[in-house]
Structure formats: C-alpha cells, structure tokens
C-alpha cells in the first residue's frame, strides 16, 4: 500500500561519484581491444546487441529512472526511429547517415512528445496507458501504411545498400562494432552531461517531489515533456541501430511489447536513475541466457526436457526481477559499487529511489 | 555469499562458453532455433518433437546418413526473429569440427531478417512452406530455400480446390471469395497472388483483416455476414484461427465453406474450436495422420522404446508433428544428396546450397523412406527453390483430419511471372546480378 | 439500423467478457494499491490447471475444488513473498514486481503442464439466436449472465460479511484500518485469492472461446483500458468500462475500420482510454481521484 509510508520526502543526497579514473581507463582499453580479442560471434551476437540495448535502456532510464515517468512504449519509439531512418535513406538521396540518424531521432522524440502530452495532466502508472497506446498504434501504423515499408509485401524494412559512415560499413562485424560503439559512446556522454546539469536536477526534482518542485518554481510540465523528448530521441536512434546494425532488416515485430518489457527489465535490474545501470542491466540480460545454458549443460548434463528447461529459464528470470526489486531496488549498479567498496564500505542507499514515484499524500 | 556466487557465475560463463566440449566423432551439426515458450509454443512443441524424432531415428536406426551422425542442438527463440538472428550468429561457424551446411529458420520473419546475412555468409536458409515468396527464384536468392509450398502457391492451390468444388475454373466467375487474414506480414503474403487470380478468373476478391492476436472477431464476421461470400480462405495463425472458426459458427457461416491455409490447419487450431470446426478444410502440404509408413517405423523404433520427444503419445501423427518429420526428412535427403556428391563428411554452407539445389525425391524414393502420401515428390533446381508447390486437402471430422484429395498443384504458369517480377525488383534494389544456372554449377565444383 | 443494433448488442455482450477480466484487477487494486499485471498469467494458470485435471479424468467438481485450492495457496504465497517484503514501496515498483511475477507464473505453469492448446467445453452451445433481424450470441449471453451473478456475489461479500467490511475499511483508509487492529496481511491474502477465483471464472469462459493456451494471458492487455474508462476502484465501473470498450471496438471496426484499412481493434481501446484520461481521469465510476498534477 503506497499510502502507508510515513517517510516525508527525500533529502537531497550526494551525487553518484563517477567510477574512478582507473576503472574508466580499464573500460576504455577493453572496449578498444574488443574487436581484436573477441570472436566474430561475440561481436555480432553479444556485444553489438548489448551496446544497443544499453543505449535503449539509457533512453528509458532518462525518462523512468531520472524523471520518474513509467513507460511501456520503448519499443514504439525505437520503431519510429528505425522506420524514419529507412524512409529518410530511401527517399532523400544523398543524405549522409549521421544526419538521417539525427533526424530519425528527432522524429522519434516528437512521437515521444506527442504521447507524453498526457503526462502534463496525469502521473504514476496511469501513464502506461498512454505509452501502451503508442506501442499498439505504431505497430498498426507501420504495418498498415505501405509507404513506410516501400510497399514490400511482407512489410519489412532493410536499407538498400547497408549503413556506412566515415568508411565504416555495417556490412562487416568490425564496422558494425565501431559504428555502434561510437554512437552509443557519444549519446552516453551527452546524456551523462545532461543529467548532471540543470536539466537532470529538474528531472529528479519532478521525480521525487512533484508538488514541491512546482511550488519552488520548477516547470514540472515542461520538464516532463523534455524528458519524454530526450528519452524518445535516444530510443529512436537505438531502434535504428537495432534494425540496421544488428538485425539487418526489421519489422514491427522486432519492436513489439516484449521489447518494451525487456528494456524496462534492463533498467530495473541494472539500476534506475543511473547511467551505469543501463549498461549493467543490458549486460545482465544479454549474459543471463548464456549463464543458464551453461549451468544446465554442466550441472544437469542435458537430462532435462527441452520444454521444461526453457520454462525454468523464464521462471528464473521472473524470480530475479522480483528478487532485485525486493533486495536491491537500485539494481546491479549498487550491488557492484558495494562489491568494489567491500562489504561495509558501500555508499548510503539513496532512499529516494526506493520510493520511485510514490503517491503524494494529501 | 550471494555476491560471490554471482561473480562465480559470471566468470564461469565467460570461460565456460569458450571451453571445447568433449571431442567425439565429427557429425553433421544441425542447430534448431525453437520456440517452446511463449505465444506460439503450442504449435512448436509438436513440431520439434517430429523433427527430433526423425533425426534420432536416422542416427539410431540407420546409423546416420552414410555413416555420418547428426548432431542436433536446440536454442530457444520464442519465435522472435531477433533471437533467431542471435542463434544464427552463434552457430554459423559450425561446432566441434562440423561446418554449418544449412540453417532452419523456423519462421517467416526470421527468414526475412537473415536473408542478406546468410547470403553474405553463404549459408542456405531452409524454411519449408514459409519464407519470402520471391526467394523461390534461386537466381536472385541463391541461399534462400522456401521449399515445398510458397505463399503464392497456397493461394493458388486454395482457389484450384474451390474451382474443383464448383465444377471448374470457368465457374469461378462472379463468385465472392473472401480472405480473412491475420494482419501481419504472414497474413498479407498471399495477397498479390489472390489479386492476380481474381483478375484471371473473374471472382470478387474481398480481404478482411483481423488484428493480432484476434481473440475477438465479431466485427469481421459481421462484415462477412453482410457481404455473403461463397467461400472463405482463412489465413490466420495461432489463437485467431480458433476464434475465427467459433465466430463463423455463431454468425451462421458453414465450416465446410471455409478453406484454411497451412498454418491454420493443425489440431491446435481445430480441437479447441470443438463442433465449430467439423467440416472445415485446410491445405495440407503436411497431411495429418499416423498411418503413413514412416509412422510405423518410428513407432517401433522411437516411440515404443521411450526415446520420443513427444510428451503426449496421443498426438503422434498430429499435423505439427508431421511438419517436423517432413522438414527433417527434406534436410536428411538433401544431406544425403550432398554426401553422394562431395563424399561422406560434414558439408559446408556452399556445399549445403549445392545439395539442396540438387535435391530430388521421386515417388519411388518417397516409398523407400516411408513418406509416400505424406510428402509430395520434390525437385529443387538452382532456379526453382520451391520444388513442389502442391498440397492435399484435408478436412476435420471432429476427431481427426481426413484426406479429401491427392496432391493439387498450384498454377505455376500464372505465379512464375509474379515471383520473377518481385525477385527482379529486389535484385535492382540491392544491386544483385542474377546468376545463370550454369555458373551456379561451376561455382560449386 | 439493424446492423447498428446488432453491432452494438454484440459489442456490449463481448464487453462483459472484458469486464470479467477487469474485476480481478479492481479487487486487488482496491485492497493493495497494486496494478497486478500477473492477473493474466494467474488466469492462464487457473484455466490450465483445471483443464489438465479434467483431462486426466478428475470429475469436474473435484477439478474445480483442487484448482480453487491451488489458487488460494498461490495467493497466500504471493502475499507472503512478494507483497509483504514490498510494503511501503511505490506503485511503480509493485507494478514491475507483478511483471516479474507473470514471468514466474507462466514459466511454472507451462513448464509443469506443457504448452499445447487444450479444448475446454463448458457445454454452452454457441449457435446464433435471432431477435427479428438481429443476431445474438448465446455464449455471450451466458457469459454476461455469469458476470452479473459474480458482481452480485461480490457485492454481498463486501457488504454483508465481516471480512468484506474490513476489506472496504482497508481500501478506504489503510492507516485507520490498521489502527483498528485489522490484520492487513490476511485481508490481502483473501483479496488475492478472491481475485484468483474471479480470474478462474474469466479464464474458463475465455478458454472455452479460444482454447486454453498461452495467449489467454494476453487478455490482460484488454483489461487496462477497461479499468481506465470504468475506474480502478469500482467493480460496477469495470462492468461499465468493459461494455464501453466492447461496444466501442465493435462499432469502430464496423463503421470506422473500413476507412483506415481495418484491424484497428488493437489500439482503439487504448485511444479511447487516453481520451477518458484527459477528460475524466478518475474513470466513469472511480472514487479515488487519480494522481493529477
């Protein structure tokens, strides 16, 4: 019962300390070494989708984790980005890819803005209706109007000549990796700056204390719309990458409701309201099936019925989500912070996040 | 405790995945992207049982194909094309010394998603009775094999059957034929063919979409009642078929005037519809039933020895189980063709393509392998990747599917120009130079 | 005119089937403030258990009793291991937890009972019934009757029994109820169990329509707009909302669909709900004003 809480609002708490320079250097070195160390399979099937999912998670985290607006429409905004990129590349000859991606992101942002309009009047989980409406409407639109998929009888989209930019082609795994990595790194940097600055503070103010924020002069309505726009912008670009850098071709099915849930799970597991959370969550979601596969093969040596095994995996995934929400609402981001800082050295739990979007009491 | 366990898991995965499995004799690696979880699991469960049972039969009873054992591995996809792409990336380099000779996509959307990747990697995509219709044209799509029965052939065979019921193709003129379809890429795939057929034979073509998942269809069937069509071609999938049949009954449309397509004609579609499905007919490139010769062999060697993957023995011979059997048999016969040509060793993708492009199963061979009546004679060529294009018609009597006809051929003369035009457009868009049949031969030598 | 009337009546009756699903949500939302996404999976779980038992030859009454018992045990377990540890968390956290719960329930249910489609025959013959020109579905009439009976039974439970009165107390003012010594955990267990049983009824009716299989759990997506339109806190609202969605969908597909290429039922209900949110956010019959900015 949400109204039961007697805690009265959250104190402003210290900002998350950025991971140390050492960690940063290690990550950079690893990231640059990936194409030389990992097999083509790891790059194509694990690392590229991981990066794109992390970007999508980041997009949703801006909206849900930072600004406190729940969305089940991530798939829809990714879809807009992918179909817009396709339309721009197909119909505007000679348009450079970065410009097409940027425009597609802006269009996705506009779609987010449109379906975020109800946030001006309602909040909490009622917003999922608006975002679900986006999900179902765009699935219908991109299937129904042949213009969006150039009349292809199967309603799928694929770029005519593949993606390429600055000599990096999405036709080969290394090009795909660098293209994805560059886009993801750039957007992550921009987002990190955004949330550390005035915009981010406004968003968290809206998330934690909507009414109070309004009283002290924060433009809550425009802050929410801003969050919807920026989040959908990032999601849109993630969608375009997903379609053309990872899958190669896409249909509305690639961005269905299941995708929206997956992105939501990524930020729940990774950590709401952190930049790292999206990456950790995406890593977790990408690796979990591999871990479970490996466990089943080695512990039970394949003596389990296939159907049962797949269902057990699904149940374990559900259990993990519940477990994380109960035990570690700040997700892997905090779990890892504690791990590195030793059992007693963890930073104080940021109380405000535990009560994400708590109903304001009368 | 929990943390260290978790760290151990992570470390275990990173190193565990790379660790080689115990090296055994080298067999032909066959990965299967399957869906035993999620919305389509009800069809999948039986399909994989059929596929795995047949592969098991080949391994255990026949000692493999020319001595080469088949190494089958499953990957869960929940019918999601994205996850199928992941599986493809994971397996395309082969495993344990065996290259990948071909890849079952087990779903039309996945076939689309992999079309370009597989062509670049030179790995044949096998998707019987599915896939991209234009990819029947092997000169533009060397690595796509929508074997057996394309979506255009489905439309044409359905219309031919209706013609046989009304007394000839010339009697189609003036009839109203409505297609009730699942509003998705799959549901729309046959529209160009029905269009062309309507123009040729002069029947009225009415298209009525059902939104996914289709669990409430009163508005659609009310529309049917308004238009009063003579026949209905039902192209639904999953739960929308059950609801369509039930709603048709409620609106008083007789089930014996409804012809379902391949993916709307299994036990999963009619049993839940109960009495509403009695008299309903469906196209059957994979007829149901357990009286075929291969079923007798499987029953003795696999079912009765408790080795079957089938959970419920009552469903032995169900349509979806037979889908698995036929698909597995196509793969086995293609590999056999390849081994005869290249020698008995695991084939590469390029060799796999050659093998499928020279796959011929004549009636005598069908009898030998026990598939007489269950599978149509097949002749794949480098330019024709369908190789069959016929189906039998079966109708549901309330407890089992009863075969009504022998193999009914689609009108290939009419469909071929449509397919070629589509393939040409694709080639133009992608800058592909269609290969000539002879050069395809040369490339594989 | 008769087409219009037939469409309307057909839609209204189909809407009561949506309403049946929505009632389960209302019960849980009233008592524990959770939008229980897992209601769909629980519905599937109930129907699947019942059919599996029936298939193995268990008599119908016994199968019903065992299924009901299982649903009650599940409700207690959910309260103990999910709701209680999450007390005092925001509604979003609870919602996401029920998303996880739906994965868990689906995995367990299908893992144990398989994912094959099963037929469920309730013995209601679904032949068309004609009132003049107008065709009415007998099955939908029966379903509507069941919905009415269920609503009356729930009304009696809430207004005539001690538990019901306590429950309304919890819904109206949780803190006051707590200070009066009401055992809120027990109330939660009871409500989740009742919601599970309501879900079983809905699951059986939907299962008879489309076969018992995974897609049964997707009816949850239809329930959400119903709740927005009817109001999250009113059972009568769920019925009204169901009827509005059912009739609206039906009329829209018949009269507007052809101009948009058809197949608009997938999003029409959500569009309608969105309009309601902007005009009347509490829903038609909802009591508690929803969060407004």
Domain extents for chain B?
A: 2-149+289-379+420-443, 152-284+394-410
Asked whether the beta carbons of B316 and B299 are under 8 A apart, the reply is yes
Which is more confident, C175 or A179?
A: A179
pLDDT over threshold 90, residue C163: no
pLDDT-above-90 percentage for chain B: 63
Which is more confident, A335 or A103?
A: A103
Confidence of residue A1 (pLDDT cuts 50, 70, 90): very low
| C chain contacts of residue A120, beta-carbon cutoff 8 Å | 293
Gap between the Cα atoms of A80 and B37, Å rounded: 28
Q: DSSP H helical segments within A251-354, as ranges? A: 257-270, 275-299, 306-327, 331-341, 351-354
Strand partners, B100: B29
pLDDT over threshold 90, residue B366: yes
pLDDT at A7: 35
**Measured torsion, CA atoms of residues C84, C87, C90, C92, in degrees rounded to the nearest 10:** 0
The kind and range of the H/E element at A169 are strand A168-169
Interface of B with A in 133-152 (CB under 8 A): 133
pLDDT at B104: 96
Write the residue in A7, A316, A325 that is nearest to C97 by C-beta: A325
Confidence of residue B304 (pLDDT cuts 50, 70, 90): very high
Gap between the Cα atoms of A102 and A97, Å rounded: 8
Residue C159 burial by Cβ neighbours in a 10 Å radius (0-12, 13-18, 19+) = exposed
pLDDT at A25: 75
Gap between the Cα atoms of A191 and A229, Å rounded: 13
The answer to whether the Cβ–Cβ distance between C215 and B239 falls below 8 Å is: yes
Backbone angles phi, psi at A315, to 5 degrees: -65, -40
The answer to whether the Cβ–Cβ distance between C90 and A358 falls below 8 Å is: yes
Interface partners of chain B (CB pairs < 8 Å, 3 or more) are: A, C
Write the residue in B12, B93, B188 that is nearest to A155 by C-beta: B188
pLDDT at A170: 66
Nearest residue of chain A to residue C32 (CA atoms): A1
What the block records as the tokens of B234 is 């039902």
Contact with chain B for residue A160, Cβ under 8 A = yes
What the block records as the tokens of B64 is 């493999």
Gap between the Cα atoms of C252 and B148, Å rounded: 40
pLDDT at C287: 61
Mean pLDDT of B378-407: 93
Confidence of residue A168 (pLDDT cuts 50, 70, 90): low
Mean pLDDT of B55-78: 92
Q: How far is CA B67 from CA A17, B60, B165, in A?
A: 63, 11, 48
Q: How far is CA B303 from CA B111, C82, C186, in A?
A: 32, 43, 50
User: B152-284+394-410 has which CATH code?
Assistant: 3.40.50.2300
CB atoms within 10 A of CB A293: 17
Interface of C with A in 226-255 (CB under 8 A): 228
| B chain contacts of residue A289, beta-carbon cutoff 8 Å | 76
Q: Are strands B390-396 and B281-284 parallel, antiparallel or unpaired?
A: antiparallel
pLDDT at A211: 65
pLDDT at A253: 82
ipTM above threshold 0.85: yes
pLDDT at A357: 42
Residue C284 burial by Cβ neighbours in a 10 Å radius (0-12, 13-18, 19+) = middle
The answer to whether the Cβ–Cβ distance between C104 and A315 falls below 8 Å is: yes
Tens-digit pLDDT profile for residues C238-265: 889 999 999 998 898 888 877 887 778 8
pLDDT at B15: 40
The answer to whether the Cβ–Cβ distance between B249 and C11 falls below 8 Å is: no
* Largest Cα span, chain C: 60
pLDDT at B386: 92
Confidence of residue A19 (pLDDT cuts 50, 70, 90): low
- B2-149+289-379+420-443 maps to CATH 3.40.50.2300: yes
Confidence of residue A167 (pLDDT cuts 50, 70, 90): low
| Distance linking the first and last C-alpha atoms of chain C | 44
Q: How far is CA A230 from CA A62, A105, A187, A349, B290, in A?
A: 8, 9, 11, 27, 59
Confidence of residue C66 (pLDDT cuts 50, 70, 90): very high
The answer to whether the Cβ–Cβ distance between C267 and A137 falls below 8 Å is: yes
| B chain contacts of residue A243, beta-carbon cutoff 8 Å | none
Gap between the Cα atoms of B169 and B165, Å rounded: 10
| Distance linking the first and last C-alpha atoms of chain A | 15
Residue from C88, C114, C219 to probe the interface with A (highest A Cβ count within 10 Å): C88
CB atoms within 10 A of CB B162: 22
The answer to whether the Cβ–Cβ distance between C103 and A317 falls below 8 Å is: yes
Please name which of C254, C165, A341, A314 lies closest in space to residue B221, comparing C-alpha atoms.
Answer: C254
**Measured torsion, CA atoms of residues B226, B229, B231, B234, in degrees rounded to the nearest 10:** -50
Contact with chain A for residue C263, Cβ under 8 A = yes
Sign of the torsion formed by the C-alpha atoms of C40, C41, C45 and C48: positive
pLDDT at B295: 96
Gap between the Cα atoms of A187 and A105, Å rounded: 11
Mean pLDDT of C192-209: 92
Write the residue in B213, B249, B251 that is nearest to C215 by C-beta: B213
| A chain contacts of residue B45, beta-carbon cutoff 8 Å | 307
Gap between the Cα atoms of B378 and B371, Å rounded: 12
Interface partners of chain A (CB pairs < 8 Å, 3 or more) are: B, C
Contact with chain B for residue A341, Cβ under 8 A = no
Mean pLDDT of C148-172: 85
Q: What's this model's pTM, rounded to 2 decimal places?
A: 0.84
pLDDT over threshold 70, residue A86: yes
What the block records as the tokens of B353 is 């393509």
pLDDT at A90: 85
| B chain contacts of residue A140, beta-carbon cutoff 8 Å | 211
Q: What share of chain C is helix, strand, coil (3-state, %, to 5)?
A: 75, 5, 20
Write the residue in B17, B82, B431 that is nearest to A247 by C-beta: B82
Contact with chain A for residue B227, Cβ under 8 A = no
Q: How far is CA B420 from CA B381, B414, B417, B423, in A?
A: 15, 11, 5, 5
pLDDT-above-90 percentage for chain C: 27
Mean pLDDT of B184-193: 86
The answer to whether the Cβ–Cβ distance between B268 and C117 falls below 8 Å is: yes
Q: Are strands B408-409 and C128-131 parallel, antiparallel or unpaired?
A: unpaired
Confidence of residue C116 (pLDDT cuts 50, 70, 90): confident
Mean pLDDT of B229-245: 92
pLDDT at A11: 41
Residue from A116, A133, A262 to probe the interface with C (highest C Cβ count within 10 Å): A133
Strand partners, B391: B408
**Least-confidence region, from A304-308, B89-93, C287-291:** C287-291
What the block records as the tokens of B359 is 């796959």
Asked whether the beta carbons of A244 and A85 are under 8 A apart, the reply is yes
Write the residue in B37, B46, B210 that is nearest to C110 by C-beta: B37
pLDDT over threshold 60, residue B16: no
Mean pLDDT of A233-246: 93
Mean pLDDT of A128-151: 87
Three-class secondary structure of residue A117 per DSSP: helix
- Per-residue exposure over C40-73, b if at least 16 CB sit within 10 Å of its own CB, e if not: bbbbbbbbbbbbbbbeeebeeeebbeebbebbbe
Confidence of residue A160 (pLDDT cuts 50, 70, 90): low
Asked whether the beta carbons of B398 and B392 are under 8 A apart, the reply is no
The answer to whether the Cβ–Cβ distance between B81 and A253 falls below 8 Å is: yes
**Least-confidence region, from A47-61, A101-115, C3-17:** C3-17
Is residue B202 left, alpha or beta, with left meaning phi > 0 and alpha meaning psi from -120 to 50? left
Tens-digit pLDDT profile for residues C267-290: 888 888 888 887 777 777 766 554
Q: Where in chain C are the domains?
A: 2-219
* Largest Cα span, chain B: 78
Gap between the Cα atoms of A220 and A233, Å rounded: 20
Gap between the Cα atoms of C97 and C235, Å rounded: 24
Contact with chain B for residue A318, Cβ under 8 A = no
Mean pLDDT of B149-163: 94
Mean pLDDT of A277-305: 80
**Least-confidence region, from A176-185, A213-222, B171-180, B435-444:** B435-444
The kind and range of the H/E element at B336 are helix B319-342
Mean pLDDT of A111-124: 83
What the block records as the tokens of C276 is 């309601």
| Best mean pLDDT range from A24-33, A230-239, C186-195 | A230-239
pLDDT over threshold 50, residue C87: yes
Beta carbons within 8 Å of B91's beta carbon, 6+ residues apart: B29, B31, B73, B75, B100, B103
pLDDT at B7: 46
When the pLDDT of each residue in chain C is averaged and rounded to a whole number, the result is 86
Residue from A136, A248, A295 to probe the interface with B (highest B Cβ count within 10 Å): A248
pLDDT-above-90 percentage for chain A: 27
Sign of the torsion formed by the C-alpha atoms of A220, A238, B35 and B10: negative
pLDDT over threshold 80, residue C148: yes
Nearest residue of chain B to residue C127 (CA atoms): B250
Confidence of residue B433 (pLDDT cuts 50, 70, 90): confident
Asked whether the beta carbons of A333 and A276 are under 8 A apart, the reply is yes
| B chain contacts of residue A253, beta-carbon cutoff 8 Å | 80-81, 109, 184-185
Three-class secondary structure of residue B24 per DSSP: coil
When the pLDDT of each residue in chain B is averaged and rounded to a whole number, the result is 88
Long-range contacts of B253-258 (CB under 8 A, 24+ apart): B253/B221, B253/B224, B253/B225, B254/B279, B255/B279, B255/B280, B256/B280, B256/B281, B256/B395, B257/B230, B257/B231, B257/B232, B258/B231, B258/B232, B258/B234
Mean pLDDT of B367-383: 94
């Amino acid at each position: 019962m949400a109204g039961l809480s007697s805690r009265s609002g959250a104190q402003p708490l210290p900002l998350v300390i950025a991971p140390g320079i050492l960690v940063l250097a290690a990550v950079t070195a690893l990231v640059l070494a990936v194409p030389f160390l990992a097999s083509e399979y790891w790059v194509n099937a694990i690392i590229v989708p991981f990066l794109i999912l992390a970007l999508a998670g980041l997009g949703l985290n801006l909206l849900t984790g930072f600004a406190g607006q729940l969305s089940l429409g991530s798939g829809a905004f990714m879809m807009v980005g992918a179909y817009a990129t396709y339309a721009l590349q197909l119909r505007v000859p000679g348009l450079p890819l970065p410009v097409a991606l940027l425009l597609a992101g802006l269009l996705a942002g506009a779609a987010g803005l449109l379906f975020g309009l109800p946030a001006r009047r309602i909040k909490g989980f009622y917003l999922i209706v608006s975002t679900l409406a986006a999900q179902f409407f765009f699935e219908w639109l991109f299937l129904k109007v042949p213009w969006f998929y150039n009349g292809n009888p199967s309603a799928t989209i694929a770029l005519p000549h593949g993606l390429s930019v600055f000599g990096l082609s999405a036709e080969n795994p290394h090009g795909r990796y660098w293209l994805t990595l560059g886009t993801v790194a750039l957007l992550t940097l921009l987002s990190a700056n955004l949330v550390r600055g005035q915009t981010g503070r406004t968003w968290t103010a809206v998330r934690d204390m909507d009414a109070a924020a309004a009283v002290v002069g924060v433009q809550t309505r425009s802050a929410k719309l801003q969050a919807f726009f920026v989040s959908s912008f990032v999601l849109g670009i993630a969608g375009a990458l997903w379609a053309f850098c990872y899958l190669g071709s896409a249909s509305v099915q690639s961005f269905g409701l299941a995708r929206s849930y997956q992105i939501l799970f990524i930020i729940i597991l990774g950590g709401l309201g952190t930049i790292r959370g999206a990456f950790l969550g995406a890593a977790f979601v990408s690796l979990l099936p591999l871990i479970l596969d490996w466990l089943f093969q080695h512990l039970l040596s394949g003596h389990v019925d296939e159907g049962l095994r797949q269902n057990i995996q699904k149940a374990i995934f559900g259990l993990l989500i519940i477990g994380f929400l109960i035990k570690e609402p700040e997700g892997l981001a905090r779990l890892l912070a504690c791990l590195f800082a030793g059992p007693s050295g963890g930073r104080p739990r940021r109380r405000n996040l535990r009560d994400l979007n708590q109903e304001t009491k009368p | 405790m929990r943390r260290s366990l978790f760290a151990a898991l992570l470390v275990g995965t990173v190193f565990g995945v790379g660790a080689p499995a115990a090296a055994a004799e080298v067999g032909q690696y066959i990965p299967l992207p399957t869906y035993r979880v999620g919305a389509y699991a009800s069809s999948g469960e039986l399909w994989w049982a059929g596929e795995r049972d047949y592969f098991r039969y080949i391994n255990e009873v026949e000692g493999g194909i020319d001595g080469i054992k088949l190494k089958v591995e499953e990957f869960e996809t929940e019918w999601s094309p994205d996850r199928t792409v992941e599986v493809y990336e994971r397996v395309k380099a082969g495993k344990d010394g065996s290259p990948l000779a071909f890849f079952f996509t087990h779903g039309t959307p996945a076939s689309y998603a992999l079309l370009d990747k597989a062509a670049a990697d030179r790995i044949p995509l096998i998707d019987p009775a599915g896939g991209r219709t234009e990819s029947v044209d092997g000169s533009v799509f060397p690595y796509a094999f929508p074997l057996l029965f394309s979506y255009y052939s489905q439309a044409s065979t359905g219309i031919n059957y209706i013609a046989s019921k009304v007394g000839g193709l010339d009697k189609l003129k003036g009839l109203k034929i409505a297609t009730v379809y699942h509003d998705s890429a799959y549901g729309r795939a046959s529209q160009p063919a029905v269009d062309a057929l309507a123009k040729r034979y002069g029947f009225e073509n009415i298209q009525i979409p059902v939104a996914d998942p289709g669990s409430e269809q009163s508005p659609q069937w009310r529309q049917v009642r308004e238009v009063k069509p003579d026949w209905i071609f039902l192209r639904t999938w999953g739960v929308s078929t059950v609801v369509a049949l039930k709603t048709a009954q409620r609106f008083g449309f007789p089930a014996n005037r409804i012809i379902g397509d391949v993916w709307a004609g299994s036990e999963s579609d009619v049993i839940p519809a109960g009495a509403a499905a009695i008299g309903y007919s469906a196209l059957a490139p994979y007829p149901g039933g357990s009286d075929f010769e291969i079923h007798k062999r499987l029953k003795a060697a696999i079912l009765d020895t408790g080795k079957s993957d089938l959970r419920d023995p009552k469903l032995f011979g169900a349509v979806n189980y037979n889908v698995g059997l036929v698909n597995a048999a196509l793969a086995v016969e293609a590999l056999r063709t390849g081994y005869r040509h290249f020698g008995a060793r695991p084939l590469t993708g390029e060799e796999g393509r050659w093998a499928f492009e020279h796959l011929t199963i004549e009636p005598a061979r069908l009898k030998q392998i026990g598939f007489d009546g269950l599978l149509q004679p097949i002749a794949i060529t480098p330019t024709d990747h369908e190789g069959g294009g016929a189906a039998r018609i079966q109708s549901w009597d309330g407890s089992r599917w009863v075969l009504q006809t022998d193999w009914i051929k689609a009108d290939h003369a009419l469909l071929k120009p449509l397919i070629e035009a589509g393939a040409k457009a694709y080639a133009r868009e992608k800058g592909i130079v269609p290969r000539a049949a002879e050069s395809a031969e040369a490339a594989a030598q | 005119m008769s087409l219009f009337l037939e469409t309307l009546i057909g839609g209204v009756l189909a809407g009561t089937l949506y309403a049946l699903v929505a009632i389960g949500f209302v019960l849980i939302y009233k008592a524990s403030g959770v939008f229980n996404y897992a209601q769909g999976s629980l519905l599937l779980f109930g129907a699947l258990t019942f059919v599996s038992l029936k298939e193995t030859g268990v008599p119908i009454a016994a199968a019903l009793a065992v299924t009901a018992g299982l649903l009650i045990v599940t409700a207690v377990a959910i309260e103990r291991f999910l709701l209680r540890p999450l007390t005092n968390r925001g509604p979003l956290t609870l919602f996401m937890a029920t998303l996880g719960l739906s994965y868990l329930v689906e995995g367990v249910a299908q893992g144990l009972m398989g994912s094959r489609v099963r037929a469920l025959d309730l013995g209601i013959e679904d032949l068309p019934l004609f009132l003049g020109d107008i065709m009415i579905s007998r099955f939908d009439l029966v379903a509507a009757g069941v919905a009415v009976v269920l609503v009356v039974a729930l009304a009696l439970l809430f207004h005539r029994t001690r538990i019901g009165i306590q429950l309304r107390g919890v819904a109206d003012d949780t803190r006051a109820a707590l200070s009066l010594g009401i055992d809120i955990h027990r109330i939660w267990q009871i409500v989740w169990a009742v919601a599970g049983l309501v879900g079983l009824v809905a699951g059986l009716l939907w299962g008879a329509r489309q076969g018992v299989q995974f897609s049964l759990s997707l009816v949850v997506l239809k329930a959400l707009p119903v709740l927005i339109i009817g109001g999250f806190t009113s059972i009568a609202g769920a019925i009204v909302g169901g009827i509005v969605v059912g009739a609206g969908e039906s009329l829209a597909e018949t009269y507007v669909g052809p101009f948009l290429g058809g197949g608009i039922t997938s999003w029409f209900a959500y569009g309608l709900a969105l309009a309601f949110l902007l005009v009347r956010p509490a829903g038609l019959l909802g009591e508690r004003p929803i969060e407004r900015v």
